[in-house]
Chain A
């Protein structure tokens, strides 16, 4: 008798094949908390073990330009946990709000990136 634990190693492929990822999580995140045009501040949540929410966006304020998709947050997906998808938002920041030393010459520069809902609070 084998002493190996058994689990379904192809679970994700079964869920996503023919549909795509993150399309396979569509409709699973419930009602989004924010909408296009909302100003939001990025929370400085713990970054222990894994995150993809950039350190340089934490504490900064940006504008939601699009609700992009539903997906498990990176913190869950990175360890194979896919049961709790949430909304991802595309957010635009002014570069000058992110980098204290950013040149006035390029004060119109922006940065757009995707961040899961758990990191957002109304600004």
Chain B
């Protein structure tokens, strides 16, 4: 095991540690009696994009869409046209199933892209093993200086 992998793993564990304490007191392995109704409802709440969240004010930034974001959107729409999912299944997976921390912490189209991969595994269009093997293949290609592959621009026909 190379030391750069260990560095990444340990850095990852530290980062995850920073994400965990959403409730700012000791919460691990509670007795059932410690979870009252308010806490139960808070834990099982479904993160969503329908607004009304309590938060501090967030500065509004105008951001132009990047090519990978547009491609992600097109990919997800194609999955809908081919009957792989409905918009509601997509929203459930990208908003709720990822959990509150990921919902708030990951970029918008990052969640779309992760969810497109997830639905293919969940509905058995590919196996998780195939997906993992592809990620390893791409990592090795990048490490060898060959880039991620050829980008094919959309055809205008």
A residues near B (Cβ < 8 Å) are: 4, 9-14, 21, 47-52, 54-56, 74, 77-80, 82, 113
Contacts and interface: CB of A to CB of B under 8 A. Distances in A.
A49 B41 CA distance: 11
B83 A10 contact: yes
Contacts of A10: 82-83
Given A50-B92, A56-B52, A79-B92, A21 B86 contact: yes
Contacts of B86: 12, 21, 77, 80, 82
A80 B119 CA distance: 12
B141 interface: no
Given A52-B48, A52-B50, A56-B52, A11 B83 contact: yes
Interface in B52-79: 52
A7 to B, nearest CB: 9
Interface in B25-54: 41, 44-46, 48, 50-52
Contact of A13 (B45, B81, B88): B81
7 contacts: A13-B81, A13-B82, A47-B44, A52-B91, A78-B89, A79-B89, A82-B86
The range of chain B's interface size is: 20 to 34
Interface centre among B41, B44, B50, B88 (most CB of A within 10 A): B88
Contacts of B46: 47-51
B45 A9 contact: no
Contacts of B102: none
B84 interface: yes
Given A54-B51, A80-B89, A14 B83 contact: yes
